[in-house]
Amino acid sequence: MTGVTIGSAAKATSVKVPTIRYYEDVGLLPRAPRTDSNRRLYGPDELARLRFIRHARELGFEVDDIRALLALQSEPQQTCTEVDAIARSHLTEVERRIESLLALKSELERMIKGCKRGRIAQCRIIEVLQNHAQCAHHPRG
């Protein structure tokens, strides 16, 4: 019966206490075993999972995506077809995201450069964003 309390788990993973409980509620974490006095206990595996979830969320994956990613891990001798499909579609999504983040990066850099000139009168963020908005498909920065 080893394991740490939800508070230490929160500290260890940078996921807040109520968020951990929320993840259990929505099934991203297995129902934690409890002490005699009904407190949740977390072992190293759960902490790893939590860190994974946190990071994936930071990367913008939705809870459902994360559920899928977690599923990939826990089916080690399944036929590969399905796993491959999930991984593949995630890869596509990840690549898409990298693309648009790179576009955003260069645009933000451009904004900052423009601002360096010192006066908003010459600052073109608004102009830039508005114009850019017209070419809906970011045809490569």
Partner DNA sequence: CCTACATGCTCTAGTGACTAGAGGATCAAG
Partner DNA sequence: CTTGATCCTCTAGTCACTAGAGCATGTAGG
Stretch that binds DNA, among 10-18, 75-83, 100-108, 118-126 (CB under 7 A): 10-18
Q: Is 58 in the site for its own copies (CB under 8 A)?
A: yes
Q: Is 89 in the site for DNA (CB under 7 A)?
A: no
Going by the DSSP 8-state scheme, the letter that residue 77 receives in this structure is T
d(CA 49, CA 29): 8
* Per-residue contact string for residues 85-114; x = within reach of its own copies by CB under 8 A: --xx-xx--xx-xx-xxx-xx-xxx-xx--
Q: Is 73 in the site for DNA (CB under 7 A)?
A: no
Residue with tokens 């860190």: 51
d(CA 63, CA 53): 9
**Candidate residues 2, 37, 38, 79; the one interacting with its own copies per rule CB under 8 A:** 79
Answer for the pair 62, 93: CB distance below 8 angstroms, yes or no: no
Q: Is 136 in the site for DNA (CB under 7 A)?
A: no
Which two three-digit tokens encode residue 94?
């990840």
Q: Is 60 in the site for DNA (CB under 7 A)?
A: no
